[in-house]
C-alpha cells in the first residue's frame, strides 16, 4: 500500500506525458521552420528562373 | 488566429487539470494517491481510440475520391493517434506497476492496444518506404482502415470477456455498480476537455505543417521540370 500512496508515480506519469508532448511539439516546430525556409528558397529559385 | 485561441484555451484547461488532479480530486478507493493516474490515463486512452475515426474517414475518402488532401488529413490524424497510443501504453504501464505489481501483462485490452500501436507504426513505415505519393496514400490506407477495425473491439473487450485484469468501465449506464465519486467525475471531465483541446491544437498545427510539405513537394517538381 505504501507504493500506492506514493506521489512519485503521479509525478512520473506527468513527466512522461509532458516530456513526450514537448518533444513532439519541438520536433513539429523545427520541421515547420525547416520547410518554410525551403519553401522560400524554392520560390526565390522559381522567380529567378522565370525572369 | 484560430490556432492561437486554441493554444490559450488549452493552456488554461491544462492548468485546471493540474489543480484537479493534484489538489481537488480525492484518492481513488483501494488505489491510494496512485489511483489518480487514471485522471490522466483514461482521457488520453479514450482520445487515442477516437482519433482513429479521422484516420479511417480520411483513408476511405481518399480511396473514393483519390484526392491527396484526404490522405494528408488521415496521415496527420494517424500521427496524433500514434502519440496518443504511445502515451496510453506508457501511462498504463506506470499505473500497472504499483497496482498490479507488474509493468505489463498480456491482457486482451493491453494486447489490442499494442496491436493498434503496431498497426499505425506500420502505416508510417510503409509510407516512409514508398517514394510515390499516390502509391503511398493507396497502400497505407489499408492499414488506416485496419486500425478502425481494432478500435471498437478494443473499446468493447473489457465488457465482453471476463479474462481481463483491466478495470471494468466506470461509466456504464447499464451497470448499477458502476460510477465514481462526483469529485473524481468532475476532475475526469476537466482532464478530458483539456486533453481534447491539446490534441485538437496539435492536430491543427500538424495539418498546417503537412500543407507546407505538400507545397514544397509541388514546387520541387516544378523546379526539376524546368
Q: What is the pLDDT of residues B195-209, one digit of tens each?
A: 999 999 999 999 999
* A9/B94 Cβ within 8 A: yes
Query: Contact, B81 vs B147, CB < 8 A?
Result: yes
Provide the pLDDT for residue B47. Answer: 96
Range of the domain at A42: 1-51
CA distance linking residue A35 with residue A41, whole number of Å: 10
* Long-range contacts, B69-76 (Cβ 8 Å, 24+): B71/B136, B71/B137, B71/B140, B71/B141, B72/B207, B72/B210, B72/B211, B72/B214, B73/B207, B74/B141, B74/B144, B75/B123, B75/B127, B75/B140, B75/B210, B76/B203, B76/B206, B76/B207, B76/B210
Q: From A33, which residue of chain B is nearest by alpha-carbon distance?
A: B209
- What does pTM read for this prediction? 0.90
Count: domains in chain A = 1
Cβ atoms of B90 and A16 within 8 Å: the answer is yes
Tell me which residue in B33, B86, B212 faces A20 most closely, judged by beta carbons: B86
CA end-to-end span of chain A: 76
Location of C-alpha cell 491539446? B198
Report the number of distinct structural domains present in chain B.
1
**Mean of the per-residue pLDDT values of chain B:** 89
Per-residue model confidence as pLDDT tens digits over B5-43: 999 999 999 999 999 999 998 887 778 888 889 999 999
Instruction: With beta carbons less than 8 A apart as the criterion, state whether B87 and A20 touch.
Output: yes
B94 contacts A6? CB cut-off 8 A:
no
3-state secondary structure (DSSP) of residue B32: strand
Contact B94 A7 (CB under 8 A): no
Q: Domain span at residue B221?
A: 2-225
Cell numbers at B123, concatenated: 502505416
Q: Which residue of A has its CA nearest to B199?
A: A21
Biggest distance spanned by C-alpha atoms of chain A: 76
Q: How many CB pairs under 8 A join A and B?
A: 91
The distance from CA B159 to its chain's CA centroid, rounded to whole angstroms, is 20
pLDDT in tens, B83-93: 999 999 999 99
Chain A interface, best mutation among B20, B28, B32, by max A CB count within 10 A = B32
Amino acid at each position: 500500500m505504501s507504493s500506492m500512496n506514493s506521489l512519485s508515480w503521479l509525478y512520473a506519469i506527468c513527466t512522461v506525458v509532458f516530456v513526450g508532448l514537448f518533444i513532439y511539439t519541438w520536433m513539429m516546430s523545427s520541421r515547420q521552420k525547416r520547410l518554410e525556409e525551403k519553401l522560400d528558397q524554392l520560390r526565390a529559385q522559381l522567380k529567378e528562373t522565370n525572369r | 488566429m484560430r490556432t492561437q485561441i486554441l493554444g490559450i484555451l488549452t493552456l488554461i484547461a491544462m492548468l485546471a487539470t493540474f489543480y484537479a488532479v493534484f489538489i481537488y480530486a480525492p484518492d481513488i478507493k483501494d488505489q491510494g494517491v496512485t489511483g489518480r493516474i487514471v485522471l490522466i490515463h483514461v482521457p488520453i486512452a479514450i482520445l487515442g481510440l477516437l482519433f482513429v475515426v479521422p484516420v479511417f474517414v480520411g483513408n476511405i475518402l481518399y480511396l473514393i475520391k483519390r484526392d491527396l488532401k484526404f490522405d494528408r488529413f488521415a496521415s496527420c490524424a494517424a500521427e496524433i493517434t500514434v502519440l496518443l497510443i504511445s502515451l496510453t501504453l506508457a501511462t498504463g504501464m506506470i499505473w500497472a506497476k504499483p497496482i498490479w505489481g507488474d509493468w505489463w501483462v498480456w491482457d486482451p485490452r493491453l494486447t489490442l492496444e499494442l496491436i493498434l500501436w503496431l498497426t499505425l507504426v506500420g502505416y508510417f513505415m510503409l509510407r516512409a518506404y514508398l517514394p510515390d505519393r499516390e502509391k503511398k496514400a493507396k497502400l497505407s490506407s489499408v492499414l488506416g482502415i485496419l486500425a478502425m477495425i481494432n478500435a471498437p473491439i478494443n473499446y468493447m473487450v473489457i465488457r465482453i470477456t471476463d479474462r481481463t485484469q483491466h478495470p471494468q468501465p466506470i461509466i456504464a449506464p447499464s451497470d448499477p455498480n458502476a460510477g465514481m465519486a462526483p469529485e473524481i467525475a468532475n476532475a475526469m471531465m476537466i482532464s478530458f476537455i483539456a486533453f481534447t483541446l491539446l490534441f485538437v491544437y496539435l492536430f491543427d498545427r500538424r495539418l498546417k505543417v503537412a500543407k507546407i510539405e505538400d507545397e514544397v513537394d509541388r514546387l520541387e517538381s516544378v523546379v526539376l521540370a524546368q
